[in-house]
Copies of this chain bind each other. A is one copy, B any other.
Amino acid sequence: MSSLEHIYRYIDDHFDDHLERVRTLVRQPSISGEGVGMAETAAMVAGLIAEAGGSAEIVPTAGWPVVYGEINVGAAKTLLVYGMYDVQPVAGEKWSVPDPFGGHLLEMSNLGLCLVNRGVANQKGPLASFFNTLQAFRAVGQPYPVNLKFMIEGEEELGSRHLPDFVAQNRERLKADYAFFAHFSQDLTGKVIMYLGVKGILFLELIARGGDWGGPTSRGIHGSNAVWLHSPTWVLVHALASMLTPDQKHVLIDGFYDDIVPPSAEDEALLERLITTFTPETELIRDDARRFKYDLTGVPLLRKYLYQPQLNIDGIISGYTGEGTKTLLPHEARAKIDIRMVPNMRPERMLQLVKDHLARHGYADKIEVVVHDGYPPGKAGLSANPAAQAMLKAYRDLGFEPEIWPHLAGSAPFYLFTETLGIPVVMGGLGQGGRQHSPDEYATVDGIRMCEKSIAAFLLNLADQS
């Protein structure tokens, strides 16, 4: 038996224990947006690094701490493991399990037995799987094939606000040959999907308030006054409406599309290959929708999805939203919006365009723009990326031919690797998980096992390449 086969067998034989280790990590709440359980979770992650034979440090930032770790086995190459220990809030959500942090196992239709828990897909499940894989290496007496560094942040769900500072201040000790983000890569049908990058994001809050320009200034007043007093709620509604066409296909902010570049030759080739396996129907099922915004399919649909930026309303609130009626002229209205940026777009420029738009439409004195977070896109590539090649080979070793995407429609601060640290990065791992940011976030139990095996293969492939 090869050393990889030994590790596979160990994982199979000890999977009940491994699954319990995953459940232990996901049961610990770590809601960065609400400040729930953050210190406890950071300590658990530091403990996992120490257990894997490393040195671990909980490094304070201006926000939640980063867990940093090192395991130097004297190997030729070093892998920087990036991860996140924070999760999304669950307030107001309806889950099928009694407790979103209960570590509940649930038989889900078409998926089999699943671990249903906030953060199990994004990203504590894959993170725990990584440490389980290291445990298997140690148990079978197989040295780690590469040196490891860990940078596990607690603010990914807050837009990784302080990670850029951390990276800038720790550039020396973050030196590595490549970076890795563990991720359940299989879709609902079991197909493996590989994303070679991410979009950028700018997350803003627009707050309209009464003031010198008009409207009630410090409290909601009787609704009958709307006939002669301005409403900040209408201001916000009109300001938002001015930014997007009613068919929701075209953003009306001047310059919004100016920085877009056409897909690279490698991306074009990937798109052509992608449409041979890409199934729009699977995407619709995953997203609980019945049709796309565009009457397109194939490469044209994918071009919209991957190479077109968008403006989204994540949330809006103003006035009386309880039961029954209350006639009110509100003094304030708030909208959380995000702009998803495609390659070559920059958050600082988008922010300026939004502000310019509001000013040009007469909203400068009526609407405050609060920046919650923002970072540019990150492209990792494939042919010149040894980490991506090692992951691709791991999939193939385990019998999976992945569907390769030029990048993800979602966002992560990969620019810190591709731009700031200047090293190749890959995200991957077998396994099925979903409903990130939504109720009933899940990972299939069997997928967790496969994730561990794929990470073992990936680590060995990395060393083999060297």
Chain A residues with CB under 8 Å of chain B are 32-34, 88-89, 91-92, 157-159, 199, 201, 203, 210-231, 233-235, 237-238, 240-242, 244, 246, 248, 287-294, 301, 304-305, 308-331, 333-334, 336, 338, 340, 361-362, 372-373, 408-411, 436-439
Contact = CB atoms under 8 A, between A and B. Distances in A.
Which of A229, A310, A331 lies at the interface centre, i.e. has the most chain B CB atoms within 10 A of its CB? A229
Nearest to A212: B290
A203 B34 contact: no
A218 B285 CA distance: 12
Nearest to A305: B228
Nearest to A91: B322
B224 A410 contact: yes
Number of identical protomers: 2
A222 B411 CA distance: 11
A51 B17 CA distance: 75
B317 A212 contact: no
A325 B33 contact: yes
A91 B322 CA distance: 9
Contacts of A219: 288, 438-439
Contact of A214 (B289, B308, B309, B310): B289
23 contacts: A33-B322, A33-B326, A34-B324, A210-B288, A216-B287, A219-B438, A221-B289, A224-B340, A224-B409, A226-B312, A227-B293, A228-B301, A229-B289, A231-B248, A234-B240, A237-B316, A313-B319, A314-B320, A314-B330, A315-B319, A321-B336, A325-B372, A326-B437
Contacts of A211: 290
User: Taking each of A217, A246, A304, A323, which has the highest tally of chain B beta carbons within 10 Å of its own beta carbon?
Assistant: A246
A321 B210 CA distance: 20
A293 to B, nearest CB: 5
Contacts of A157: 324-326
A324 B372 contact: yes
A88 B326 contact: yes
A227 B290 CA distance: 15
Given A224-B411, A226-B310, 11 more contacts: A89-B326, A201-B327, A216-B289, A219-B438, A227-B308, A229-B289, A230-B248, A238-B244, A314-B319, A316-B333, A320-B336
A244 B248 contact: no
Contacts of A233: 313, 316
A223 B341 CA distance: 13
B237 A312 contact: no
Given A227-B310, A293-B214, A293-B228, A327 B89 contact: no
The 5 closest A-B pairs by CB, nearest first: A33-B324, A241-B241, A315-B319, A226-B312, A227-B310
A294 B230 CA distance: 9
Nearest to A233: B313
A327 B304 contact: no
B214 A234 contact: no
Contact of A231 (B201, B222, B312): B312
Contact of A234 (B313, B322, B438): B313
Contact of A218 (B220, B234, B288): B288
Contacts of A227: 293, 304-305, 308-310, 340, 409
Contacts of A246: 238, 242, 361-362
A415 B89 CA distance: 49
Contacts of A330: 313-315
